[in-house]
Amino acid sequence: MSDKSKAKILRELTNSPEQQARLAQHMVNVVARSFLVEKSRTRIVTSKMQDGVTREETKSRTNILYDYFCAMRGDLGFSFQKALDHLDIALRQHLDNGSWEPPAAERGWGATTETLQ
């Protein structure tokens, strides 16, 4: 998906330029924290992780967050703040397991147990 398409979708899922700025800053923070968590985990286990973070991996994690944010706001009907609150755990679960499953209470009465990938 092109950057213009993503920007259009994000404008539809946010209510103001202020929310867009908050989302962008939050995504930057979530991605940065995800690298710090992996660095600390790797140092404890193998001491082999290098300090270099590639642009491709940063972009990949940002795209994962974008996809989850769109699913949370569009498909699951999360409020803006609730979606922000769930991005950290969604990214961590995706990196650890390859998917994120919304909490059962968030899926509603008749929801399935399928995960978002």
pLDDT along the chain (117 residues), means of 10: 80 91 95 82 43 81 94 92 95 91 61 51
pLDDT score, position 7:
81
Q: Which residues of 27-51 are buried (b: 16+ CB within 10 A; e: fewer)?
A: beebbeebeeebeeeeeeeeeeeee
pLDDT score, position 79:
93
Q: Is the dihedral of CA 57, 61, 62, 67 positive or negative?
A: positive
pLDDT score, position 112:
47
Would you call 116 helix, strand, or coil by DSSP? strand
* Residue 19: closest CA among 71, 66, 76, 84: 84
Q: What are the respective helix, strand and coil percentages of the chain, to the nearest 5?
A: 70, 0, 25
Say how far apart CA 10 and CA 23 lie, in whole Å. Answer: 9
